[in-house]
Amino acid sequence: MERPDFFELKNGSKVKLPFTDQEYKNRLNKIRKTMSKKKMDMVILTSMHNIAYYTGFIYCSFGRPYGCVITEKKIVTISANIDASQPWRRSNCDNLIYTDWKRDNFLRAIVSIIGREDPPKNIGIEEDHLTLEMMSKVKSIFTFSTFKDVSKDLMNLRMIKSKEEIEIIKNGARIADLGAEEIVKHIRPGESELEIAIQGRDRMEREIAKTYPDAEYMDTWVWFQSGINTDGAHNPKTNRKLKIGDILSLNTFPMISGYYTALERTLFVEKVDDASLKAWEANVKVHNRGLELIKPGVKCSEICTELNELFAELGYIQYRTFGYGHSFGMLSHFYGREAGLELREDIETVLEKNMVISMEPMIMIPEGKPGAGGYREHDILVINENNAENITKFPFGPEKNIIKN
């Protein structure tokens, strides 16, 4: 039996995607305008976030390459045989499946899409994602082509959100709030970080399924830290049991069809000591000022500079651990980081309408010092014509978040 290097399989029917056909067409038109401007005949996407952004398909790699080929007239995803027809059903375009029987069938599938008679002169690639090994293999096949990086161009396109994207992000913020509400119900001495986190995660996943019954459900989670575990913002939850007087860091992260949102809050179990209260109030003061500063026409670096000055005035600048916020969008919290839209000293991007950005000041006071722990507040804002809308509604600060159940 002769086994193919690649093949098509349309098993079942196309399913409802998170966005309309017109939304995907608009995105495709924009990338093709970029291709025309840069004189590129073809773009090979390889990252999870860009493939999902342009097609709706979110891959699970397990060490296998995935891709999407875009030309002036074609858009085709390339997926591994282990996924069968799911990549075709969950995308707005054609799909080509490569097999594992022969090494580098992924590359042969790319060649088959464009044909060998008229090889592309200029190919766009994601230099921030493509490995050196894969880059070498791609160049060995397209020996007469030149390669141009498109990663920053695509990031800039993703930084401005459409009406449909903003709707899904707003729902994500609402669901993050619900997860936090559920977590607070279960905070009491003797309960573990793990068990409390499970309650919030389950509440969010059920609400996502209720709101988006046709979606796929994956990667919604909660980080819920207590005591010394609050020192790192991304520390995993543990089986540590809560104690009276513990500082807590609540972090809810719902994902809806690849779109992450987030909520972070500092809380205390039943009581807070004076040194911790002082640090907490300082971080809240910076948070409130940051929310006031986010508006169209302001540079990211300018916001950062003013908040640094406020932290210094309050005596906590030495404990700052992170930039003051970042963009939210397709897989943006990790894989699809939109680094051009972050509230940092070295980012000169000017905020504009339909950008979505967080305000999230955080300080960490090491163990052994008064007020030890990690303090974080996190809201998400949508930039409008003249101001910004805060879409996070869960309360923050000592008046609301000293929890006594």
Average pLDDT over residues 302-311: 98
Q: Specify whether 104 is located in the same domain as 244.
A: no
Q: Are 266 and 364 in contact (CB under 8 A)?
A: no
Residue whose entry in the numeric block shows the structure tokens 């913002």: 233
- 186 and 332 within one domain: yes
Quick check: 1 pLDDT over 70? no
Confidence of residue 299 (pLDDT cuts 50, 70, 90): very high
**One domain, residues 102 and 205:** no
Torsion 6-58-90-154 (CA) sign: negative
46: nearest Cα among 144, 119, 122, 135: 135
Is pLDDT above 70 for 117? no
Structure tokens at 105: 């069938």
**Considering the domain boundaries, does residue 1 fall inside one?**
no
Of 93, 124, 158, which residue sits at a domain end?
A: 158
With 70 as the cut, is the pLDDT of residue 120 above it? yes
244 and 225 part of one domain? yes
Secondary structure class of 106 (helix, strand, coil): helix
CA distance 142 to 123: 9
Residues 91 and 216 in one domain: no
Q: Do residues 198 and 300 both lie within one domain?
A: yes
* pLDDT above 70 (res 393): yes
What is the CATH number for 118?
A: 3.40.350.10
> What does the pLDDT read at residue 80?
96
Contact present, 172 and 258 (Cβ < 8 Å): no
Please state the rounded mean pLDDT for residues 373-399.
98
Count CB atoms within 10 A of the CB of residue 260: 22
- Supply the CATH number for residue 365's domain: 3.90.230.10
Residues 168 and 144 in one domain: no
Please tell me whether residues 138 and 188 are part of one structural domain.
Answer: no
Of 158, 175, 203, which residue is a domain's last?
158
pLDDT at 3 exceeding the cut of 90: no
Mean pLDDT, residues 339-356 taken together? 95
Residue 25 lies in a domain: yes
Residue 116: per-residue pLDDT: 60
Same domain, yes or no, for 241 and 154?
Answer: no
At residue 391, does pLDDT exceed 80? yes
Looking at residue 389, its pLDDT comes to 98
Of 158, 188, 209, the last residue of a domain is: 158
> In which domain, by residue range, is 154 found?
6-158
Q: How many domains does the chain have?
A: 2
Residue that is written with structure tokens 């805060």 in the block: 390
pTM assigned to the model:
0.95
pLDDT in tens, 160-217: 999 999 999 999 999 999 999 999 999 999 999 999 999 999 999 999 999 999 999 9
Is 262 contained in some domain?
Answer: yes
State whether 148 and 108 are in the same domain: yes
Residue 275 within any structural domain of the chain: yes
Per-chain mean pLDDT for the chain: 95
* Residue 23 shares a structural domain with residue 108: yes
Active site residues: 234
Based on the domain organization, do 21 and 46 belong to the same domain? yes
Which ranges of 264-339 would DSSP assign to H, the alpha helix? 274-293, 300-314
